Amino acid sequence: MEWIVRPAFAVCLLAATLATPPAWAADVVTDAMQAAYVPYRAALFRTNSKAQAESEQAIAQARAQWQALSERYAARPPAPYDRDPGFAAALKQVDDVYAKAQAQIADKRLPDAHATLEEARDRMADLRRRNGVIVFSDHMNAYHEEMEQALNEGARILAQPGGMLALAGQAGVLDYLGRRLRSEAPATLAGDAEFGSLVDAVQSSVAALRGAIARQDEAAVRDALGKLKSPYSRLFLKFG
């Protein structure tokens, strides 16, 4: 039963979060954070694909850009972060994650570095959230969280009594969040043909999963679960 309740709760929680009046990257700090997010995404992608040299380059760029942001804004952040007493500490926490990941990459422990880098995404999102800032990356993160849940728990859920029904609920959440990747995209992305194509691929992967569940085809469900990550990763690397 908890498998069915969890996706429904996730939708309610997300809707409540996104109903908060946002600041759409209208401040210099958020813009700087989003610019620094580009090499961060590359570092995540490269460590996941086990590309050693590219991972070293990406993490060096990500850390350098983040440190430049910190040096400029940590002491006296402008609005809306100026009322956050933990702002400087949050920037330091992200840099600590980068430092740890950089050491792991140097030791050729790319899977460990990838897992470490995931923490930075959560810390950045929390910093924005508590200051009332929502960006497109937050919608990408919401989808990623539920996708990872499906990837990590899908096979186990499917093997349980009522598992197909429970997984149908989870696929419904993915469908909802996948649609938001299009509806919540800023104008600069919405009109981009490549963005549209990559979002189509994400939505198609979810549609394939839902179709397999509807047919009660367990083998097809397992196959569709395994094909969720690739289209998301391509979208994340370029636009996430």
Under the banding of pLDDT at 50, 70 and 90, the label for residue 9 is very low
229-239 pLDDT, tens per residue? 999 989 988 88
Same domain for 99 and 11: no
The CATH number that applies at residue 125 is 1.20.120
Segment among 11-20, 172-181, 206-215 with least mean pLDDT? 11-20
Same domain for 140 and 119: no
In total, how many domains does the chain have? 2
d(CA 58, CA 42): 6
What's the angle, vertex CA 115, arms to CA 125 and CA 9, rounded to 5?
A: 50
d(CA 202, CA 52): 27
Residue 168 lies inside a defined structural domain of this protein: yes
Tokens 């580009």 correspond to what residue?
A: 38
Range of the domain at 203: 2-18+136-239
Same domain for 104 and 83: yes
E-assigned strand segments in 62-184: none
Same domain for 125 and 219: no
Residue 23 lies inside a defined structural domain of this protein: no
187-200 pLDDT, tens per residue? 888 888 999 999 99
Q: State if pTM tops 0.85.
A: no
Same domain for 158 and 83: no
| Torsion angles phi and psi, residue 75, rounded to 5 | -70, -40
Same domain for 114 and 203: no
Same domain for 56 and 140: no
The CATH number that applies at residue 192 is 1.20.120.290
Same domain for 38 and 9: no
Tokens 């929502």 correspond to what residue?
A: 134
Chain centroid offset of residue 191 CA: 22
Among 166, 109, 123, smallest CA distance to 36 is for: 123
Same domain for 156 and 125: no
183: which residues sit within 8 A by CB, 6+ positions away? none
Mean pLDDT of the chain: 88
134-147 pLDDT, tens per residue? 999 999 999 999 99
